[in-house]
Structure 1
Amino acid sequence: MSDPLYTRDILRLASAIPHLGLLDAPHGTADLRSPTCGSRVVVTVRLDGQGRVLELGQKVTACAFGQASAALMAAHAIGQSKQQLRSALEAIEDWLRHRVQASPLDTPWPGLEILEPARSRTGRHGAILLPFRALLAAIEDAA
């Protein structure tokens, strides 16, 4: 029997997304949709005086992988700068494309190793990247 695509950890994350609901009077907003799977993530942010994420809100309409990714993104986004998020997004893209052979402890974002079953399924990559892309776009909108 092969490994399950949707593990218990993925489903648990997908059902516990932090920072749900959009912020009133945000500094920046992004509304992104994945053309491959139809997932949609809306992110609103408020930044501190140094451009780091102070608060975020999100609305997520996605598969379990997109929801789990949104949960991971939101769990560790507070305090991150645009450059840190840009670097993390590039590292996650490399990780998904197997450009780096990361061990579970070396993944580019805390908890990302839970999404390991999707690395070999390129059709899921768009949903996984979408929350990170939406957060970065919201930060760029705030500038």
Structure 2
Amino acid sequence: MFPAMSELYHNRILELAAGIPNIGDLADAEGSVLKVSRVCGSIVKVDLTLDEAGETITAIAVDPKACALGQAATSILAENAVGATVEEVIAARDALKAMLKDGGPPPEGRFWELRHLEPVADYPPRHTSTLLAFEAAVAAIEEALQKRTSSGQIALPVRE
């Protein structure tokens, strides 16, 4: 049985979707990725820069053209990404995916508000749009690190 739409689009989701910070572009972005949901047509672009060590996000800009669920996730990312480590963003993306697809617990730490998206788990067609911002952020991090590796600035961290 599916939860009521009011449970899916509750007040906090709508507040997050209406108040997305850091909208726009970063002129000096090291990573810039656009992700599209083929299921619903939602689009989220994420630009970001990393610290000198390539371990922490120093700036982010987002440009979402998504449903309220995708916008809410983008809002949570944009609000909390600056100062987050690369590992925190990857862990949040992985926890969000597990919460939606495998019934895992909601993400913790700085991205704890993703818990408000837990009812989306019952709507598989909405999973992709809800994940777009975090998928784009991880891809932008990878792009930034790859550029640095290609230019000889840093070595990519080992990921298991």
* Higher relative contact order structure (alpha carbons within 8 Å, sequence separation ≥ 6): 1
Corresponding residue to 1:69 among 73, 96, 100: 73
Q: Larger Rg: 1 or 2? A: 2
In the alignment, the residues of structure 2 paired with residue 27 and residue 2 of structure 1 have an alpha-carbon distance, to the nearest angstrom, of: 41
Matching residue of 1:128: 130
In the alignment, the residues of structure 2 paired with residue 2 and residue 36 of structure 1 have an alpha-carbon distance, to the nearest angstrom, of: 21
CA contact (8 A) 2:92 2:107 kept: no
In the alignment, the residues of structure 1 paired with residue 119 and residue 99 of structure 2 have an alpha-carbon distance, to the nearest angstrom, of: 12
Cα displacement string for residues 23-56 of structure 1 (whole angstroms, at most 9, x for unaligned residues): 1121111111111111111111111112210000
Residue 33 (structure 1) aligned with residue 36 (structure 2): yes
TM-score between both structures, scaled by the size of structure 2: 0.80
Q: Which structure has more helix as a fraction of its residues?
A: 2
Q: Could you say what the CA RMSD is over the residues aligned between the two structures, in angstroms?
A: 1.7
Matching residue of 2:95: 91
**Pair 1:8–1:27, CA change in 2 (3 A):** same
Matching residue of 2:52: 49
Cα offset, 1:3, TM superposition = 5.5
Matching residue of 1:22: 25
Cα displacement string for residues 43-83 of structure 1 (whole angstroms, at most 9, x for unaligned residues): 11111112210000011000000000100111111122323
Matching residue of 2:149: none
Matching residue of 2:140: 138
Which amino acid in structure 2 is aligned with residue 64 of structure 1? A
Which amino acid in structure 2 is aligned with residue 87 of structure 1? A
Which runs of no fewer than 5 residues in structure 2 stay unpaired?
Answer: 146-160
TM-score between both structures, scaled by the size of structure 1: 0.89
CA contact (8 A) 1:76 1:110 kept: no
Which runs of no fewer than 5 residues in structure 1 stay unpaired?
Answer: none
